[in-house]
Structure 1
Amino acid sequence: MRIPVGWLAEYADLPAGTTPEALHAALVRVGFEEETVHGGDLSGPVVVGEVLEFTPEPQKNGKTIRWCSVRVAPEGERAADGGEAVRGIVCGAGNFLVGDKVVVTLPGTVLPGPFPIAARRTYGHVSDGMIASSRELGLSDEHDGILRLTEIGLDPEVGTDAIALLGLDDAAVEINVTPDRGYALSIRGVAREYGASTGAAFRDPALAVSPPDTDDGAVRVAVDDGAPIRGRAGCSVFVTRVVRGIDPAAPVPRWMSSRLRLAGVRSISLAVDVTNYVMLELGQPLHGYDLARIGGGALGVRRAKPGEPLVTLDGQRRALDAEDLVITDGTGAAIGLAGVMGGEATEIGASTTDVVIEAANFDPVSIGRTARRHKLPSEASRRFERGVDPAVARAAAQRAVDLLVELGGGTADPGQTWFDAAERPAAVLLPTDAVLRRTGARATDAEAVAALEAIGCTVESGEDGLLVVPPTWRRDLLEPVDLVEEVVRIVGYDRIPSVLPVAPPGRGLTREQRLRRSLGTVLAATGGSEVQSYPLVSAEQQAAYAPGPSMRVANPLDATAPLLRRSLLPGLLDAVRRNRARGLVDVALFELGSVFLPVEGASYGTAELPPVGARPAPELLTRITDDLPPQPVHVAVVVAGDRLPKGPGHAAEPVDWRDAVDAVRRIGAAVGVELRVRQEAVPAGFHPTRSGEVVTVGTPEQVVGVAGELLPGSVADVPGRVAAVEVDVDALLAAAPRGVEFAPISTMPAATQDVSLVVAETVPADGVRDAVVSGAGALLEAIDLVDDYRGAGLPDGAKSLTFALRFRAPDRTLTAAEATAAKHAGVEVAAERWGARLRE
C-alpha cells in the first residue's frame, strides 16, 4: 500500500517536517513492514514558462530540433535561479505552439533518476534549461512530447513554481500489508495505526460525511444467494446512489490525480477517479455504472450459472463458474464479476452523464477464489479477500456522491438503496492477566484499554477482565489471544522480555533424526548439493518413475501437476534441467523428503476437519492421521555431466552406473547398513542392463530402493548418461543396528589367495561373490572383485571374474591347505548356483 504523506496528514496530525523515513519508522513500530519511498526525488527550480518563439533547425541525422525563446519569469523580474527572464532552450519535441504554457526545469534542477539539469552546449546552441515532458517530471509514462499545461486545464502565471502546481512536492511511503490487516489498505486505516503508534490525533474521514438512513433509492437491488458456499453468504451489504447530470468533460483536479499517481493508480476520468480515490481513502471498493446502460433500471446479486459468459472491463470474454458471484441488471443478465471487475456492457464512457455508485461487501473467500480462478487480481479483489469494513459502505458511497457533485456539477438523488445483513462483531472477554501470562510483557489495565481503544475497540471493565467489542473492520479479533497480540503491538514489542528457555534434561535428537542428519551430512560432504523440489508432479512424470495409485490435489496451483509425488526423481531431474539451462552442466543433487504412497482401493480425506482456535482431541487427531496415505521419507541422488572434468594430462570422466553404486554405498555407510545393487528387476525409468534394486546385505534381504542409469529417452534433454538412486529411508533406518558392535583385532596372520571364475556374461558379479562367501565359510575374512575380463581365450558370451580372498583364523595360523580348501568350497557353491568354473 502506498500512502501519500500529504493525504495522510489530513487525517492524522503529522509533526511539521515529518520525513518519509520517520513515517516508515512509526508504522514499523506497530507491525508493518517497510518497503520503499515513491516521489520526493525532484528538486527545483522548476517553473511555468511561456514559449515566445521557436525556430525549427533540421539536423544531419534527420532529426529536427527547435531553438526556442521561453519566458520563465514575469517581465522585469529575475528567474527563480537568479538568471534572465527569457531563456534560449533547445527542444527536440514538436507538439507545442507559440504562446503555450510549459514546464521549464532551470539549471540546478534535479529530476527523478537522478538527472541534473545544467546549461550546456548542444546542436550549436547553449540550452539554458529544459522544457520537460510528463515522464521526465515523474507524472506519467507519457513521453510523446512535452507537457502543455493548457491540455490539463491549467493556465498559471509565468514563473509560478511548477512543483507545487503539479503536486510534485509530496512523497508516498509504501508498506507491506499482511492478509489479516486488510483495513490498512486505506488512508483511513493507516492514519489510525499512525495515531496508535505515535499518539497523534486521528480524524476518521468516514465520520465527516452524512449518508441518508432511508432505503428508497431509484435503483432497486435484489440480493439472492440461494446457494451459499461453505455456509457463507456471498453479499452482506449493498448500497447504491445515483448522481445525474455530470459533465463528462469535467477535468480531474490536479490534487486528486497527483494523489492517485503517488498511490500507484492511473488517472482515467473524473467518475472513475472518484471511485478509486474513495477506495484508497476509506478502504471500500466502489463501482460506477452508466445508468442509461443498466437494463431494467435495477441491479441484482446472485451466483453465476456454470459457463455463463461475461465480457469484463479488460475486454476479455470469460466463462463463469457456479461459485462466482455476479452483479446483474433488471433483466437478470450478468453485468459484472462481483468484487473483482465490472462488465463492459455498463462501463462509464466519454458520454456518461448519469452514474450509479455501488458500495457493497462480499465474502472474502468467495472473492479470493474467483480472482484466482479467472487470474484476474484487482485493487477491489485485493481488499475484499482481506476483509472490508461492512459499516463503511454508506459513508463511502456518500463521499463519492459529494465529490461528483462538487467536481462534476452533478445532482444527487436524495434516496439510496440500502441492503444490510452483515453480522456485527461479538464481544470478547480479555482476562486481567492474559497479556502477562501469554507474552511475559507487563501492561497495566489502563494501557491495555488505551491500546484497544486506539485500534477502534469498545472496552468495558469488569470483575473478570475487559469486555472488548472489536470494530467492524477487524474481523480477525475473535479470541483473547488476538487481543493480547494487539495490546503488545501497541504498547511495544520491547516490553516482551528476552528469556532463554532451559532445555529439559534427557532430550535431544531422536535416533531417526540423528541418522537422517548423518545421511545428509555424508552426501553433502562427498560433493552433493541438497535441494527441496516441488512435491506435485504431472501424470506423465509419475508414470515414468513410480507408477501406481496416486493422490490428486483438489486445487493444485498448476493444473498440469496435480499429483502428490510417489518418487523424488522427477523433482530432482527438473532441478538438473534448470541448472543446465544456467550453465551448470556437472551436477550432483540429492533430496531428503516425503513421498505419498496411497494403497490401491483405499479412500482418503473422509475424516472430519477439526475446528480452528482449539487443539483437537487425541481421538480426532488419530482419525485424521489414519485417514492419510503412507508418507515414507526417501532419499534420492541424481548425478549428471562429468565425474572428473577434463584437465591437463587427463580426459574427462563422464558419469555412469558406477556413480549410482558409489552413492548407494555412501548412503548405507551413513546409517550403518551394508547395501548392494541386485540386478533381478528393472526399475521404472531405468536402463534395463545398467540398473537394479538396492537391497540390504544379510538375512533376510530387503529391497529398499533402486539405482543405476536412467533410460536415455526419459532424460533426452540432458546430454550424456544420468545416474540416479532412490532409497526408502524409513525402511533403511528400521534395518539399521541399534548400537555399535566392536570386533577384536586378530593378531594371527592372514592367508591371501586369488580365484578366477568363468561365468556367462549375464551372471551378476554380486551373485557369484555371494556364492563364494557362502561356501568358503567362517575363515573367509574379506573378498573383493579385482578384475572383470571379456575377450580372447574365453568362449563367446562368457566373462572371467577374479576375486581376491583373505582368510584368517582367530586362534591359529592357517595353513595353505586350509585356505585352499575353503576357496574350493566357495568355488563349488558358485558352480552349483551359477555354473561357474575355474579359469585355466
Structure 2
Amino acid sequence: MIITEQWLRQWVDTDLNVNEIADVLTLAGLEVDAVEPIGLPHDKVIVGEIVSAAPHPDADRLQVCQVSDGKESFQVVCGAKNARVGIKVPYAMIGAELPDIKIKKAKLRGVESFGMLCSGEELGLHSPVKGLLELPDDSKTGQPLIETLGGADYAIDIDLTPNRGDCLSVLGVARELRVLQGSEIKSLPDDSVEQSSTAKVAVDNREKQSCTAYRARVIEGIDREAVTPLWLAERLRRSGIKPINPVVDVTNYVMLETGQPLHGFDRRQVGDGIVVRNANGGEKLLLLNGDEAELSADTLLIAREDGQPLAIAGVIGGETSGVYDDTDDVVLEAAHFSRAAIAGKARQYGVSTDSSHRYERGVDPLLGQLAIEYATRLMQEICGGKAGPIVEDNAQAPETTKVSLRYNYLCELLGFSIPQPEVHELLRRISPDVVETDSGWTITAPSYRHDMAFEADLVEEVARVFGYDRIPTKLPSLVPSSRIAREGDIDPSAVSRTMIARDYNETISYSFIDPEWDADYGSGETPVNLANPLSENMSVMRTSLLPGLLNSAVLNLNRQVDRIRLFEIGGTYSLVDNETVEIQRLGALCSGPALLESWEGDVRLTDFFDVKSELRAILCLTPFPNSFTFRQLEHKPLADNQVLGIYINGEKVGWLGRIQPVIERKLGFESPVYAFELRLDRLSSQQLVRYHPISKLPAVKRDLALVVDSDVAAGDIEATIKSVCSEELANIELFDVYQGDKVPDGCKSLAYRITLQSVSKTLTEEDIDRVVGELLSQLEKVHNATLR
C-alpha cells in the first residue's frame, strides 16, 4: 500500500521526518519497502498564464500565444484546442526536462517558440480533459508547478501482513503512529450531510451473516460536466490509483483515507431497490473489466429487486451498473461484508481489487456511516447534487471483544519485566477502554483491530509498542541438550553427498501440489487437503516426491537439457486414521544418456540397472546393505514389467522402476525415465556392525544353474539360499540368466555361484554335498526349481 507523507501529516501531528516515520513503522511490524520522492524532475516547469492568443499565420491548427510567468511574457506556439486567454496552464520553459523530451528553442512553421504549454499526459499527470492541463484560477503565476500540485512529497510503500487490515488507509497508519509515538490525530467529521432530497432505494439484506451492515444513499442531479479537482486527482495518482471520473474518484479517495470501500451505482440500473443475496449457481455477470463471470452459489451478490445481478459484493461491480459520463443520479453504497464471505472470491474470478483486498483482511464495522457522509460531502462539493436519506439494513453495532492480560504471563512470555504503570500506558494507547484487574488488565479491542482476540495478542502488542529494539539482549538460561547419535544412524547430508558424487543435481520443490498430479503420480495414499490453498493447483500435500521430480524434469527438458539426473530429500504427507503422517524420503529421477558425450564411443541411454546401482550406493551407506531385498510390485506411475519394491525385514521402504511409457510421451520425454524413492528413516539400523574374524580355512565354490518359472524373482531365490546356508554361506553371486534352447517355455535359467566356508572346520565333500542337497530340496519345495 502506498500513502504520501503530506497526506499522512494532515492526519497525525509528528516531529519525525519521513525516514524516521519509515523506521518507526518498520520496527513495529509495518515494513516499509521504499520511500520515494515525488515531484517533477525540473524546476523550469511553472504555472503560466496565457495573456494573448492569435492564429498562426501559416497553420490553421496552431495558435501563437503570449505566456506570462508573472514578470515577463514569452511567445509559445501551441496546437491545443483549449488554449485561450486567461487560463493558467503548465509552462515548460527552455531547458526543462519532461519525461520524453527536453525543451529547446524552436521554430514552428516559421514562428519562434520559447518553450511548451503542456498537457497532463506530457507531464505524466492525470487530466480530465484532452489538451492543456488547466490549473485552478487561484494558482500563482510563475510558481513552480510542483508547488501548485501540493509541493514536494514522498511516497511511503508499506508491506502489510494480512492481520493488519486496519492499516490499509491513511487513517489507519496515522492511528498506528499515534499508538507508537503518543502523537495526536484528527478524527473524521461525524456531522450528517443535510438531506435535500427524498429520493431513496429500498434495501433487502437477505444474508445478514455475510453482510453485517448495508447502507445506501441516492444523490440525484449531479453535474455531468464536473471534473475531479486537481488536488484530489493528484493525491490518487501519488497513491498509485488512476483517476477516472468524479464519483469513482471520490469513492477511491475516501477508501484510501479511511479504509472503508465504497461503490457508486447508476440509479437507472438499480431501479427501486437493492437485494443482498447469494448467487444462484450458473448466473452470469459482465464485470467492469469486461470479463463475463459465471457465478458460484457461494458468491455474495448485490442485485436488483427483479433479480438482475449488479455487482459481486465487496469485489467488483458490473459493467452495466457503473457510473459513466451520462449518469445523473448515483446510488452510493457503504457496506460491511464479513471476511469469510469475501475471502478468495477475487482470486476465484481472476480479478484483484482494492475493495476485496480490504474486506478479506477486515474492515472497521463502525466506519460505514462516517464514510458515506464524508463521501457525500465531497461529492456535493465537486459534482453538486441533492442527497437523499441513508437507507440501512442490519446496521447494528458489532459485539465488542474483551481480552484479559495477566502481568505475570506478560513477563514470562517476554522474558523480561516492564513496569506495570508503563504497561498500563501502552495498553491505553492501544485501546481507550482499559480496566485494571487483580492480575493485570482487561481491555476492549477497538472495532478496527480484528487481530486482537487472545491474551498472546496483547503480549505481542505490548512488545511491539514498547519497541522490539528496546528488548534487552541476553543469553538464554536453558541447559543445552542433544540426542546422542547412534552408530547405525544415516545422516541425510551423507545421502545428499553420495547422490551429488554420482552426478545428480539436488532440487527442492513445493510440498503442496496439484491434486491431479498427486492422483496420477503420487503414492496412492490419502493426501492431506489444504484448508486455504494458495491456488487450486497447489491444494494438497504431496504423498510422494515423484510429482515434484517429474515437474522439475519437464522444466529442464523444455530448456533443451537432454541428460537429466535429479534428486530431492524432503517430507511427504498422508492421512492415516485421520492423522497427518510426515515421512522423510529420498527421491531420484534420471533420463537421457547414461554418461556425458565422449569421443570414446556411442552414447548409451540410462537403463534400469544404472538406476539400481545408484540405489545400491545409497543402501551401502547402511551397516547391512544386503539386508534389503527387491520384489516385484505394482505402482501406478511405473511400467508393470520394470518396477521393484524395496523391502527390509518384510517392510516395504521404497520402490524402483521406469515411468510408464504413456506418461513419458505425455510429458514430452523421448528417452526412458527411471526413478526411485526410499524412506530415509528406515536406512538407520538398530543393529551395529560386529567384527567377524576372516576364516583361515579354505572356501569352496559351487555353480548351480536352476530352472524356474519366468515369474520367479531372483531375489526370492537368493533369500531361500541365505536361509538354508546361513552358517556356511560366505557369498552368493548371480552370474547368468538364460532363456532359450533346452529351457522349457515359460521358464528361465538362473546361474548362481555359491561360496561356502566355515570358521570352525574345513568343509569335506560330505559336508558340501549335504548343504547343496538340502538347498536343492528347499528350492524345489519353495520355488519348484530344478537343477539344469
- TM-score, with structure 2 as normaliser: 0.83
2:663 to 714, 721, 740: 714
Q: Deviations over 1:280-325 (max 9, x none)?
A: 11111111223344322x3343333343444433344434334333
Residue number in structure 2 paired with 1:693: 645
Local SS of the residue matching 2:13: coil
Residue type matched to 1:261 in 2? R
Residue number in structure 2 paired with 1:377: 352
Local SS of the residue matching 1:305: coil
Residue number in structure 2 paired with 1:44: 42
Distance 1:168 1:750 in 2: 100
Moved more, 158-167 or 826-835: 826-835
Structure 2 residue 564 is matched with structure 1 residue 589: no
Structure 2 residue 758 is matched with structure 1 residue 809: yes
Question: 1:407-422 to 2 correspondence within 5 Å?
Answer: 407-413=382-388, 417=392, 419-422=394-397
Residue number in structure 1 paired with 2:214: 238
Residue number in structure 2 paired with 1:386: 361
Local SS of the residue matching 1:642: coil
Structure 2 residue 693 is matched with structure 1 residue 745: yes
Residue number in structure 1 paired with 2:231: 255
Moved more, 553-562 or 299-308: 553-562
Cα shift at 1:496? 2.7
Structure 1 residues 14 and 514: CA distance shift in structure 2, 3 A:
farther
Whether the 8 Å CA contact 1:707–1:726 is kept in 2: the answer is: yes
Cα shift at 1:754? 6.6
Structure 2 residue 191 is matched with structure 1 residue 210: yes
Distance 1:104 1:404 in 2: 30
Local SS of the residue matching 1:643: coil
Question: 1:174-185 to 2 correspondence within 5 Å?
Answer: 174-185=157-168
Moved more, 171-180 or 667-676: 667-676
1:636 to 582, 587, 604: 587
Whether the 8 Å CA contact 1:220–1:417 is kept in 2: the answer is: no
Whether the 8 Å CA contact 1:32–1:175 is kept in 2: the answer is: yes
Local SS of the residue matching 2:158: strand
- TM-score, with structure 1 as normaliser: 0.79
2:371 to 382, 396, 405: 396
Cα shift at 1:489? 0.9
Whether the 8 Å CA contact 1:522–1:670 is kept in 2: the answer is: no
Whether the 8 Å CA contact 2:638–2:660 is kept in 1: the answer is: yes
Residue number in structure 2 paired with 1:492: 467
Residue number in structure 1 paired with 2:200: 219
Residue number in structure 2 paired with 1:7: 7
Whether the 8 Å CA contact 2:70–2:142 is kept in 1: the answer is: no
Local SS of the residue matching 1:398: helix
Distance 1:597 1:179 in 2: 29
Cα shift at 1:243? 2.6
Cα shift at 1:77? 4.1
Q: Deviations over 1:81-118 (max 9, x none)?
A: xxxx5589xx9xx7678769764555665666xx8948
1:576 to 553, 558, 566: 553
Cα shift at 1:793? 11
Cα shift at 1:678? 3.6
Q: Deviations over 1:153-187 (max 9, x none)?
A: 77968754222334573331110121211111110
Cα shift at 1:397? 1.0
Cα shift at 1:72? 6.9
Whether the 8 Å CA contact 2:38–2:238 is kept in 1: the answer is: no
Cα shift at 1:653? 4.2
Distance 1:307 1:631 in 2: 40
Distance 2:80 2:750 in 1: 90
Structure 1 residues 568 and 159: CA distance shift in structure 2, 3 A:
same
Distance 2:770 2:510 in 1: 54
Structure 1 residues 552 and 477: CA distance shift in structure 2, 3 A:
closer
Structure 1 residues 269 and 722: CA distance shift in structure 2, 3 A:
same
Distance 2:407 2:22 in 1: 33
Q: Deviations over 1:121-170 (max 9, x none)?
A: 9999999877766556332699xx996224x8779687542223345733
Local SS of the residue matching 2:185: coil
Distance 1:394 1:567 in 2: 53
Distance 1:824 1:111 in 2: 100
Cα shift at 1:577? 1.1
Question: 1:449-468 to 2 correspondence within 5 Å?
Answer: 449-468=424-443
Whether the 8 Å CA contact 2:526–2:574 is kept in 1: the answer is: no
Whether the 8 Å CA contact 1:780–1:805 is kept in 2: the answer is: yes
Residue number in structure 1 paired with 2:611: 660
Residue number in structure 1 paired with 2:250: 274
Local SS of the residue matching 2:343: helix
1:264 to 228, 240, 250: 240
Cα shift at 1:790? 8.0
Distance 1:741 1:163 in 2: 81
Structure 2 residue 324 is matched with structure 1 residue 341: no
Moved more, 216-225 or 418-427: 216-225
Q: Deviations over 1:675-733 (max 9, x none)?
A: 5564544433323333222222xxx6444332122222221212212111134556x36
2:636 to 684, 709, 716: 684
Structure 1 residues 116 and 811: CA distance shift in structure 2, 3 A:
farther
% identity of equivalent residues: 28
Whether the 8 Å CA contact 2:545–2:568 is kept in 1: the answer is: no
Q: Deviations over 1:475-507 (max 9, x none)?
A: 222223222211211120123333444555664
Structure 1 residues 684 and 415: CA distance shift in structure 2, 3 A:
closer
1:196 to 179, 197, 210: 179
Residue type matched to 2:635 in 1? P
Structure 1 residues 630 and 200: CA distance shift in structure 2, 3 A:
closer
Distance 2:660 2:201 in 1: 68
Structure 2 residue 29 is matched with structure 1 residue 31: yes
Local SS of the residue matching 1:385: helix
Moved more, 745-754 or 3-12: 745-754
Residue type matched to 1:268 in 2? I
Structure 2 residue 680 is matched with structure 1 residue 704: no
Unaligned runs of 5+ in 1: 58-65, 79-84, 599-625
Aligned residues: 772
Residue number in structure 2 paired with 1:723: 674
2:124 to 127, 130, 138: 138
Local SS of the residue matching 2:186: coil
Residue number in structure 2 paired with 1:187: 170
Whether the 8 Å CA contact 1:634–1:727 is kept in 2: the answer is: yes
Distance 2:25 2:70 in 1: 48
Distance 1:584 1:288 in 2: 55
Local SS of the residue matching 1:446: helix
Structure 1 residues 514 and 407: CA distance shift in structure 2, 3 A:
farther
Structure 1 residues 713 and 190: CA distance shift in structure 2, 3 A:
same
Residue type matched to 2:26 in 1? V
Residue type matched to 1:638 in 2? L
Local SS of the residue matching 2:657: strand
Structure 1 residues 242 and 361: CA distance shift in structure 2, 3 A:
same
Distance 2:315 2:279 in 1: 14
